[in-house]
A and B are shown apart, each in its own frame.
Chain A
Amino acid sequence: MLKNKDLLGIKELSAEEINLVLDTAGGFKDVIGRDIKKVPALRGKTAVNLFFEPSTRTRTSFELAAKRLSMDVINFAIPMSSVVKGESLIDTALTVQALGADFIIIRHSSSGVPHLLSTKVKASIINAGDGTDEHPTQALLDAFTIREKKGKIDGLEIAIIGDIAHSRVAKSDIYCLKKLGAKVRLIGPPTLIPEKIQELGVTVFHNMEEGLKDMDVLMMLRIQMERQGKGFFPSTDEYAKNWCLTTGRLSLAKDDAIVMHPGPMNRGIEIVSEIADGPRSVILEQVTNGIAVRMAVMYLLAGVKR
């Protein structure tokens, strides 16, 4: 069982807790594949999506997950809320709680916001991405997908490729995959890989061709267009030339290597369409698995005594 009422990051979870989430998600994956894609497990509970940053996929995925557990879901629309009138973050969370929320799913551009709120409210806080810190449910759905495709995670060679420095997905993935026993390497230009990242037990490659050799899993990251022109890389063309996953480069990995991407993709910049839409890609399965994993997280958090 999970120890805390909140899911703030993978850093705080044990391997045992991660495996419990993945095992439970298996049961929910069966449910969402049926004609009636809904179970009454959390009937009568309420989930509130509190997204201070734009997001369609993650928010929709959480919304569907909550609905398939028979919860009521409110999407708190920030531009129309009192936040623009200057209401403090904590006041907003307390208000959401007073409305009857059992789960507050939060995304915020500042790292640590979910951690702060978790100490102020009784509701379960689920981190849906905080600044450059963590995006735990993305890492859990990635691990679920890898385990489903490869049968295990322990001992696999996994590469995470692209803008590691600004990626909360990469950070959560590293914590998660390391805890489950994978060998993780990071591939990207020096400007996009933090200096002391090796302390997390990963290896670093600044050459795509060398890095991809013999990998079981390739996890591509999205190049955040807002970083362009800030000195991290010269241009998207230049980036694509060195770091885009092409068919030629994919052939350097193992023959049965799978390709992942958290979306949304920049086709032709970090990955070519031929691969994104090809047989080795599990990108759309990641999306489906995301619902099952988020259902498992909410189901398990509901059982934590407080």
Chain B
Amino acid sequence: MSKELMNKKDIDRALTRMAHEIIEKNKGTGNLCLVGIQRGGVYLAKRLASNIKQTEKKDIPVGSLDIAFYRDDLNIRKEQPVVRRTEISFEVTNLKIILVDDVLFTGRSIRAAMDAVMDLGRPSAIQLSVLIDRGHRELPIKADYVGKNIPTALTETVEVQLEEEGFEDRVILKKIEDEK
């Protein structure tokens, strides 16, 4: 059983608005960079950067971050997370970093991402941008820019499907089926 929460148009509109909010809050693009969390966040970071470029006519640096080595659940997961590359080709020290992720849930990935970024340097600030906030936080973490707030039950999952991974753009809510 699944239900569509956002379609392509909805996602485009949300990202356009978030790009504007990012520019507004930071008063332009000075010292700004976007860092997407592998994998979904990386595609969204690139889309946000191109939206920002359309209005501000400026390129802002985009990086990708893998948080596998910083997770707090390595002992309890069924298997190790696949390690993807962290590619941040710029010095993060003194930059304002906008972390980009697809879904904000417990907040634990964001905690791991902040630790990972801090090991790369000392950014002047870290802000958080997510396409979906589904609630159920386990840590005191809050997003600065949110595409859509969606109340969910713990028995549900939220899937963000993107063109870059060979899907049609959409966000769907699924019931977790009982593992047999």
Contacts and interface: CB of A to CB of B under 8 A. Distances in A.
A40 interface: yes
B80 A27 contact: no
B86 A41 contact: no
B88 to A, nearest CB: 10
Nearest to A296: B83
A302 B84 CA distance: 18
Interface string B90-128: 000000000000000000000000010001110000000
Contacts of A69: 69
Given A26-B85, A27-B86, A31-B69, A299 B80 contact: yes
Given A34-B120, A40-B115, A303 B77 contact: yes
B119 A24 contact: no
Contact of A302 (B74, B86, B120, B121): B74
A302 B81 CA distance: 11
A23 interface: yes
Nearest to B112: A40
Interface in A278-302: 296, 299-300, 302
A306 interface: no
A69 B69 CA distance: 8
A23 B68 CA distance: 13
Interface size class of A (residues with CB under 8 A): 20 to 34
A27 B74 contact: no
A1 B79 contact: yes
A230 interface: no
Contact of B69 (A26, A35, A40, A305): A40
User: In this complex, which of B69, B71, B121 has the most chain A Cβ atoms within 10 angstroms of its Cβ?
Assistant: B69
A80 interface: no
Interface string A260-288: 00000000000000000000000000000
B80 A300 contact: yes
Given A30-B86, A34-B119, A39 B69 contact: yes
Interface of A: 1, 23-24, 26-28, 30-31, 34-36, 38-42, 69, 296, 299-300, 302-303, 305
Top 8 A-B residue pairs of the complex, sorted by shortest distance between their CB atoms: A303-B80, A39-B69, A27-B83, A41-B69, A36-B119, A1-B79, A24-B83, A303-B79
